[in-house]
């Protein structure tokens, strides 16, 4: 075990040094057809981002430029949002990325997955699709702030699974105080629908995901125990895992997901935001943007900036993590949590679990 940990730490050091781009995230819009109670990007149904969004040509040019410097076959182009299917050029951009050699994937709330969209995503060689579903009907509709959203999303998931679109489908479930006590029931529903993968992610105090929606220490512990046990119990039927949002200590690391916690923001993941800003991920506070592709190329920004992501984490996280004995494995958890720690609006997962155990 010690050898494995040493190899892991060495590997992280090598990645920080070489920063090989493996995931290129793109936030095409902040527009959405929902206004969820827990949206960390505070997306709305208004056209607020539209005027400043990258054009089809701007994003295509950047994809070409990146493909000239790095091997696109080594990079997954991950389209997030807002709701990405609100952009009418989405499949055009995806098909273009695929023609250059990128794998590509989308994260969607699933409401626009009709017969035509499913077909055009197939023609654009979509590799995988993650659909958001936040628990059983009552909880999903409440969190998504939309009566009937669950029924329509499930209908579209069934349609997708029955189609000839070969993209891998998984479910993303945001866990809050509203749905945490009914996850067993939810997993059973997913298996009945025919879903083979589900990833749970605790909400983390950004945007509208605040206050009473946040998990208490005990609820977070309940979630981790649930995933650890169900991962083993259901392993031949459905792949259950926790998102890589933070570090939870030896008791849970490697038992709630395949690997030890690792945040690749600015190291293996780079993001282009709706207005061309470049960051380590789409969910990191905009104060950690490193440039804008309207002024400099992504490659230039990726190669010459990002120091605070690669070598400066210790300093950035110091006010919260100083003297923590878990630093070498955790390194502050997910970069997107930094603001919440510094503002005092959230404790890290490791401290919450210890508190739940009364340690």
Q: Which residues bind ligand SF4 (CB under 6 A)?
A: 32, 34-36, 39, 41, 43, 81-83, 109, 247, 320-321, 324, 326-327, 330, 332-333, 348, 350-351
Looking only at the bridges linking them, the beta strands covering 239-242 and 269-272 are unpaired
Pair 265, 25: CB distance under 8 Å: no
Gap between the Cα atoms of 42 and 209, Å rounded: 9
Q: Which is nearer to ligand SF4, 299 or 324 (CB)?
A: 324
Pair 215, 180: CB distance under 8 Å: yes
144: its two tokens: 């998504």
Gap between the Cα atoms of 224 and 347, Å rounded: 16
The least CB distance from residue 85 to ligand SF4, in Å, is 11
Q: Which is nearer to ligand SF4, 25 or 39 (CB)?
A: 39
Q: Which is nearer to ligand SF4, 192 or 323 (CB)?
A: 323
The least CB distance from residue 229 to ligand SF4, in Å, is 23
The least CB distance from residue 72 to ligand SF4, in Å, is 27
Q: Which is nearer to ligand SF4, 98 or 132 (CB)?
A: 132
The least CB distance from residue 32 to ligand SF4, in Å, is 3
Q: Which is nearer to ligand SF4, 100 or 260 (CB)?
A: 260
Gap between the Cα atoms of 143 and 145, Å rounded: 5
Pair 278, 289: CB distance under 8 Å: yes
Burial of 261 (0-12, 13-18, 19+ CB in 10 A): buried
Q: Which is nearer to ligand SF4, 167 or 206 (CB)?
A: 206
10: its two tokens: 């060495």
CA atoms within a 13 Å half-sphere pointing along the CA-CB vector of 357? 12
Q: Which is nearer to ligand SF4, 49 or 165 (CB)?
A: 49
Element (H, E) at 202: strand 197-202
Can you give the three-state secondary structure of 72-106, one letter per residue? HHHCEEEECCCCHHHCCCHHHHHHHHHHHCCEEEE
Gap between the Cα atoms of 276 and 128, Å rounded: 24
Q: Which is nearer to ligand SF4, 236 or 315 (CB)?
A: 315
**Nearest residue to 104 (alpha-carbon basis) of 129, 87, 123:** 129
The structure tokens 């470049």 sit at 278
Category of 140 on φ-ψ map: left (φ > 0), alpha (ψ -120 to 50) or beta? alpha
The least CB distance from residue 177 to ligand SF4, in Å, is 17
The least CB distance from residue 276 to ligand SF4, in Å, is 19
Gap between the Cα atoms of 299 and 21, Å rounded: 10
């Amino acid at each position: 075990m010690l050898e494995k940990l040493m190899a892991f730490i060495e590997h992280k050091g090598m990645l920080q040094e070489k920063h090989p781009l493996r995931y290129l995230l793109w936030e095409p819009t902040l527009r959405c057809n929902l206004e969820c109670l827990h949206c960390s990007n505070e997306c709305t149904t208004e056209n607020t981002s539209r005027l400043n969004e990258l054009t089809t040509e701007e994003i295509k040019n950047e994809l070409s430029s990146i493909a000239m410097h790095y091997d696109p076959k080594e990079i997954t182009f991950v389209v997030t949002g807002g709701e990405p299917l609100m952009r009418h050029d989405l499949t055009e951009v995806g098909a273009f990325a695929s023609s250059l050699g990128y794998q590509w994937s989308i994260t969607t709330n699933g409401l626009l997955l009709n017969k035509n969209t499913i077909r055009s995503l197939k023609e654009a060689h979509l590799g995988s699709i993650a659909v958001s579903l936040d628990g059983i009907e009552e909880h999903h509709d409440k969190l998504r702030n939309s009566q009937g959203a669950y029924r329509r999303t499930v209908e579209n998931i069934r349609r997708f699974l029955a189609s000839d679109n070969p993209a891998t489908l998984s479910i993303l479930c945001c866990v809050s105080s509203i749905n945490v006590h009914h996850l067993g029931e939810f997993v059973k529903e997913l298996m009945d629908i025919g879903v083979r993968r589900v990833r749970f992610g605790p909400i983390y105090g950004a945007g509208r995901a605040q206050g009473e929606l946040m998990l208490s220490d005990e609820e977070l512990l309940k979630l981790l125990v649930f995933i650890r046990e169900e991962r083993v119990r259901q392993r031949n039927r459905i792949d259950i895992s926790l998102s890589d949002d933070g570090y939870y200590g030896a008791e849970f690391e490697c038992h709630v997901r395949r690997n030890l916690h690792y945040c690749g923001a600015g190291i293996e993941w780079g993001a282009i935001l709706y207005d061309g800003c470049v960051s380590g991920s789409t969910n990191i506070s905009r104060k950690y943007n490193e440039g804008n592709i309207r002024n400099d190329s992504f490659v230039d920004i990726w190669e010459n900036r990002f120091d605070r992501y690669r070598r400066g984490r210790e300093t950035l996280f110091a006010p919260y993590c100083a003297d923590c004995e878990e630093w070498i494995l955790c390194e502050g958890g997910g970069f997107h949590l930094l603001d919440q720690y510094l503002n005092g609006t959230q404790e890290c997962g490791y401290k919450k679990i210890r508190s739940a155990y009364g340690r």
